[in-house]
Chain A
């Protein structure tokens, strides 16, 4: 067998100006398909957290909640109760809306609630020294999508109750 140095070439295809055309379906379908990656790149479809804070006298309630979550992906809710005053606060009780926590498929709450009423889980935080804070956190896994609102409420002896509303939107 003799090896060819220069491979022969078959007839070339005729040239044609390369000018793409799109069908009407492609003209509106392609931007539609691009929407999901663009929204993802801008972070609008991502799992995000938001922090809301309320203060009443020496008592501060801070809730860092999943603002946007995704079905099947864990997110963390952190509630911090702080005594910003110069004196200790007695009988501090935190309540987390039961409907909010129970709307998740899984909610690992730390520490475990001391009691449960019809509407809320109660956490008896006891006495809070000046400058001290207590944290209750929950690792949440959503199985249903859409918006779920929640409320955190804290009260202490001699201080008006303080409550904060928040919400989590879960993407499918």
Chain B
């Protein structure tokens, strides 16, 4: 019983923590982010399974986590409110060749970074961009203007 409660607690905590960090943080790892992500499981391992190395405990913990993930996905699908709480909404970073500064600041993305992403997708200038959107997944989608196509 304790394992089920531990796993659910850690799952909810991690979901909240990752949501607070923002979608950008975990899409492409900087060395610092990678260290954090590698350290989290090390620190949580004992908290999750306690001092019980048995296969039974591991099975209970894994099933609990998988069901929590499935349950969250199902609830997000059924309830838009849950979806908004669990997944962040896409942010428009640039529109019709202009930066949307408020969103760039909120997502901590510099114009240089955005332009780098735009170039990676084969466009040269900000003016070539109709939409640059930071998706919920953390990836930046770039839709070119008709002229740039």
Contact = CB atoms under 8 A, between A and B. Distances in A.
A41 interface: yes
Interface stretch (B38-46, B93-101, B117-125): B93-101
A73 B53 CA distance: 7
B30 interface: no
Interface stretch (A3-11, A50-58, A88-96): A3-11
Interface residues of A, number: 30
B15 interface: no
B88 to A, nearest CB: 14
Given A8-B95, A39-B60, 19 more contacts: A1-B111, A4-B98, A7-B103, A10-B133, A30-B67, A33-B63, A33-B67, A36-B59, A36-B60, A37-B4, A37-B64, A45-B56, A71-B53, A71-B56, A72-B54, A73-B51, A73-B52, A171-B56, A172-B55
A40 interface: yes
B70 interface: yes
A69 B63 CA distance: 20
Interface of A: 1-5, 7-10, 18, 20, 30, 33-37, 39-43, 45-46, 70-73, 171-172
B1 interface: yes
B77 A70 contact: no
Contacts of B133: 10
Contacts of A30: 67, 70
- What is the interface residue range for chain B against chain A? 35 or more
B78 interface: yes
A42 B100 CA distance: 53
A9 B92 contact: yes
Per CB-CB distance, the 3 closest pairs between chain A and chain B, nearest first, are A70-B54, A171-B56, A3-B101
Contacts of B101: 1-4
Contact of B1 (A33, A43, A72): A43
Contacts of B70: 30
Nearest to B57: A70
A121 to B, nearest CB: 27
Given A20-B74, A70-B57, A36 B63 contact: yes
Nearest to B80: A18
Nearest to A8: B95
Contacts of B103: 7
